[in-house]
Amino acid sequence: MNGSGTKTPALEVQGLVKSYGSLKALDDVSLAVAGGEFVGLLGPNGAGKTTLFQILSGLFVADGGSVHVLGHDIRHSATAALAGIGVVFQQPTLDLDLSVLANLRFSARMHGMPGTRRRERIEAELLRLGLDEVANAPARTLSGGNRRRVELARALVHEPSVLLMDEATVGLDPASRRQLLDYVLDLRRERSVGVLWATHLVDEVERADRVVILHRGRVLDVGSPGEIVARAGAAGIGEAFLSMTGRPSSRDADG
């Protein structure tokens, strides 16, 4: 159960399978994200969200199935496919001993961006995310919310068509969590970036265009929040999630 209407998917996943010994972490997972679409990947801890993101970002290789980014097969055209993806991982990945600016420069060089364009894009993202005043500060001196903003700026500096956010609000206070979500929701409209937002927090997908519910490596349902609620005969997306997974739904990072 997937699809994105008549839009051409920026990201298309078909029949993805990944096992670790006898544990099947992903079992025939299919989904799609169109440009300018915010898709919430909702699942409890252990659902397979991080394994999926590791495959989408080229860190792991799937046992079966396919991943296409802007039509490029990640298995056969990895460089072209990965050039279209920006990622914010659940675990922090900044070099805390480097400045904000140095972290962004390193990432831009890794993407092969020429000097002039690199400077323009870094400056634009620092301004857009309100980080220009801390550009020369060591990353370790920043708050958790600002570190996440730097990671987001780094993911966007090469202007990807698809943004992957893997439990990106973990450890943030509620205000920082809302600010990050609001920014990404605005981003997908303003730049037509396709967003796949993985979370176990129900309130983070309530404004999604579509929601993919993942549990024990399998996709249980895909649709708008309203469609999923209606099919489950539930009062809300949290109740629908609980009825499908048998797991309580978290409403807030502090819950």
Q: Is residue 77 part of a domain?
A: yes
Give tens-digit pLDDT for 52-92: 999 999 999 999 999 999 999 999 999 999 999 999 998 88
Looking at the structure, tell me whether residues 67 and 129 fall in a common domain. Answer: no
* Domain annotation covers residue 185: no
**pTM: predicted TM-score of the whole model, two decimal places:** 0.90
pLDDT digits (tens, 9 = 90+) for 105-127: 999 999 889 989 999 999 999 99
Same domain? For 42 and 103 the reply is: no
Domain co-membership, 74 together with 167: yes
Q: Which two tokens stand for residue 87?
A: 């990622």
Range of the domain at 131: 89-159
Domain-located, residue 215: yes
CA gap 207, 199 in Å, rounded: 13
Torsion of CA 50, 42, 180, 137, to 10 degrees: -10
> Smallest Cα–Cα separation from 2: which of 162, 227, 229, 250?
227
Split into its structural domains, the chain has a count of 2
Instruction: Give the model's pLDDT for residue 124.
Output: 95
pLDDT tens-place string over residues 237-254: 999 999 998 855 554 433
- Partners of residue 69 on adjacent β-strands: 11, 72
Instruction: Answer yes or no: do 152 and 171 share one domain.
Output: no
The predicted pLDDT at position 254 comes to 34
| Residues 132-190 pLDDT 10s | 999 999 999 999 999 999 999 999 999 999 999 999 998 888 998 999 999 999 999 89
Q: For residue 255, what pLDDT band results from cuts at 50, 70 and 90?
A: very low
